[in-house]
Amino acid sequence: MSTCPPSTAGLKPAPGAHWFPGALDRMAQEDLLSAVRHILVQAPLFAPTMPRTGKPLSVRMSNCGPLGWVSDSEGYRYQSFHPDTRQPWPAMPQQVLDIWSRFSGIREPEAILPEACLINYYGADARMSLHQDRDEADLTAPVLSISLGDIALFRLGGLERGAPSQSFRLESGDIFVLGGESRLAFHGVDRIIPGSSTLLREGGRFNLTLRRVNVA
Ligand code: MD3
Ligand code: FE
């Protein structure tokens, strides 16, 4: 398999941000989707709620890998088991680990592996409001996102909430890597475009987000 490091390919919308439109061809998307479906049999999508208010998020979630991100009235956290089934998260599939090694920009022999793969599912009306990802102890490792299904209108801002932002149409098969100065950038999903992809028979969008949580 060829390597495609962020320094030599893809677009660079902000320092430390790398966008690889069309990184995965249709066959790779279908193969990854089937791995996701298999995970969701063991670890079904759950409905996260906001800390304090208990208001449901519009996105549904699951995870694979040693740790998974969950949110409920107790707060946000990483934990090793599904909040409803209490079962350990399924292993990260090889396809996901291969994508990390090709696109994360982390060079051998560092071999820093992702510990969490958050699976977000967006139905037609789901959104994700502007936020920072800072629940990880290791904020030096990049975050890698994989889009499958309908197009998302993704917003990438700066290090402060009010900073100017850029909007991207993330399509099925796109990979986005956020490292360096962009690791703590505000970001969100304004909406998806229902019916813009034929990948998911039920419509909507999966986003897989690979993260290092603990300092290696
Ligand atoms: C920019 N997910 O799960 S992925 C999330 O499309 C999340 O589901 C969105 O934000 C989604 O936390 C966006 C792209 C992304 C992921 C992590 C980032 C962008 C990021 C971390 C820092 C800056
Ligand atoms: Fe995020």
Angle between helices 94-103 and 26-42 (to 10 degrees): 130
Confidence of residue 110 (pLDDT cuts 50, 70, 90): confident
- Chain segment 159-214, per-residue pLDDT in tens: 999 999 999 999 999 999 999 999 999 999 999 999 999 999 999 999 999 999 99
Q: What's the whole-model pTM score?
A: 0.95
Q: Which band of pLDDT confidence, cut at 50, 70 and 90, is reported for residue 107?
A: confident
Ligand 1 pocket residue status of 152, Cβ below 6 Å = yes
Q: Is the Cβ atom of 209 under 6 angstroms away from ligand 1?
A: yes
* 96-45-216 Cα angle (round to 5): 40
Ligand nearest to the CA of 15: 1
Q: Give yes or no for residue 158 having a pLDDT over 60.
A: yes
Q: Are 181 and 71 in contact (CB under 8 A)?
A: no
Select from 12, 78, 207 the residue to mutate for testing ligand 1; criterion: most ligand atoms less than 8 Å from CB: 207
- Does residue 178 have its Cβ closer than 6 Å to ligand 1? yes
What's the pLDDT at 5? 52
Best mutation site among 129, 134, 143 for ligand 1, i.e. most ligand atoms within 8 A of its Cβ?
A: 143
User: Using CA atoms, how far apart are residues 97 and 101, in angstroms rounded to an integer?
Assistant: 6
The answer to whether the CB of 189 is under 6 A from ligand 1 is: yes
